Amino acid sequence: GRIRQVVHISRNITKRKQDELRIRHMAYYDTLTGLPNRTYYKKLLSRSLEHARRHNRIMATMIIDLDSFKRINDTLGHAVGDSLLQSVAKRLRFALRSSDCVARFRSDLGNTISRLGGDEFIILLNEMARVQDAAMVADRLLNELATPFFLEGNEVVVTASIGIAVFPADGDDADTLFKNADLAMYHAKSLGKNKYQYYTESMNESARERLTVENDLRRALARNELVLHFQPQVSLDTLEIIGLEALIRWHHPQRGLVPPLDFIPIAEQSELIHLIGQWVLRTACRQIREIHAAGYPRLRVAVNLSNRQFSRDDLVEHITSTLATTGLDGRFLEIELTESAVMQDPQKAVCVLQQLRELGIHIAVDDFGTGCSSFEWLKILPLDSLKVDRNFITGITRRREDAKILEAILAMAESLGLEVIAEGVETTDQLALLRGLYCRGVQGFLFSRPLAAADILEFLQRHQGGFTPGAAEP
């Protein structure tokens, strides 16, 4: 009997040890990828920093953020997203030395550097011989990730943005290295993704400026500091105004009139872009209704949607609600999208655009010629018009190649039954060439600069019967 009791006690101890090991593993390792988690990584980093200080060694922290991971999740499902994270983890481990460490930082852990909609990995490079070694590793990692993943019958292509902070130059403690590597990664993303960047001191100033603008922008929405200006679109057949593009401006109490390039990119990196987008759509619909009531009932208003706005699942519902609230007929609204917004998920784009067209809404691709310009998808997407990027128009009177490209775009658009608006028309020579190529619509400073809502009615009245283009309106 005693022997059985010893065996029973032994089994209990073994099970308790196994449970303790299992709990310890759960506490320090990510359950999906098997990588060390944030808690374990910080312990490893603390030990590595202590060793590096004692022996005067260089080391680096690298933050890796998968570009457009949320889109992959939303398009292919969370099962494919999880498989992708597991496969990425394996490739990262394979590409590193045994003395280095890769960990996963999940966005649901409440840490300050993760962003919703993506997923991040963090790498510890121990005992580097040179600062430049981190760049070699980053290049190798980007190349590893560039090879397509085949997951559950899907070919998935993913890129990453990498930020690098080096000890001791970029920080002497874990929190500073995290923060600076994150700033560097953020900067890499802003440069077009699939890149790496070392931290520089100027990034702190940029981050502070970005935060200031973001905070001011939140207040601007509450204080009604945002306004719309309108730029006329003109028919070359009749020289009559056929539409108005709504362009956002910001009346900052200290900085004066702030152009969109100074704040829209910052808004797009936060949820502010959705609030601003809703405000623009609602205000544009309301103001075009007022313009109709003033005696110009046929004008259409064009509103730009950002990539993030277009990717929202409730986009059609929101636009439908806005039309109902403002009382605007969908025929008098044009939605402008970039090629990149459409190409994020062409199949979903077809579905969304078809629903918008069923509301009578006019669909235009903005800045045509600056993206992939695949003529194949133009045949599939339910579009009404193309807006040719101003960069082509600027060069058509000086560079034969630009004129040839524009001619090809116009011919292709005609064959597909699409209207064309040439943006950025500023000279009579450009206008004459566009007429010769049978371009039907134009927009630019030759006809008018964007005008405040208070001035647009006077402009419309002055040019009600069409006009001869000349100097830009003051």
Q: Predicted confidence band at 12 (pLDDT cuts at 50, 70, 90)?
A: low
- With beta carbons less than 8 A apart as the criterion, state whether 155 and 149 touch: yes
- With beta carbons less than 8 A apart as the criterion, state whether 420 and 441 touch: yes
pLDDT at residue 314 is higher than 70: yes
Position 259 scores a pLDDT of 83
Position 109 scores a pLDDT of 34
Q: How far is C-alpha 10 from the chain's CA centre? A: 59
pLDDT at residue 192 is higher than 90: no
Q: Predicted confidence band at 258 (pLDDT cuts at 50, 70, 90)?
A: confident
SS3 of residue 239 by DSSP: coil
pLDDT at residue 102 is higher than 50: yes
- With beta carbons less than 8 A apart as the criterion, state whether 80 and 69 touch: no
pLDDT tens digit string along 30-43?
Answer: 778 888 877 788 88
Window from 96-100, 190-194, 297-301 with minimum mean pLDDT: 96-100
94 or 448: which leads in pLDDT: 448
pLDDT at residue 98 is higher than 80: no
CA distance 434 to 393: 9
CA distance 423 to 421: 6
Say what percent of the chain tops pLDDT 70: 87
Instruction: Say what the pTM is.
Output: 0.65
23 or 211: which leads in pLDDT: 211
pLDDT tens digit string along 364-387?
Answer: 998 786 654 556 677 888 999 999
- With beta carbons less than 8 A apart as the criterion, state whether 88 and 111 touch: no
pLDDT at residue 7 is higher than 60: no
CA distance 330 to 362: 8
Q: Which whole-number Å values give the CA distances from 411 to 394, 407, 408, 422, in the listed order?
A: 20, 6, 5, 14
| Domains of the chain by start residue, with CATH | 31-200 (3.30.70.270), 214-462 (3.20.20.450)
> Residue 25: which region, alpha, beta or left (left: phi > 0; alpha: psi -120 to 50)?
alpha
Position 279 scores a pLDDT of 95
Beta-carbon contacts of residue 377 (< 8 Å; ≥ 6 apart):
342, 343, 346
Q: Which tokens in the block code for residue 394?
A: 């600027």
3-state secondary structure string, 122-133? EEEEEEECCCCH
Say what percent of the chain tops pLDDT 90: 35
Window from 185-189, 256-260, 267-271, 439-443 with minimum mean pLDDT: 267-271
> Residue 392: which region, alpha, beta or left (left: phi > 0; alpha: psi -120 to 50)?
alpha
Nearest partner of 222 among 262, 286, 290, 272, judged by Cα: 272
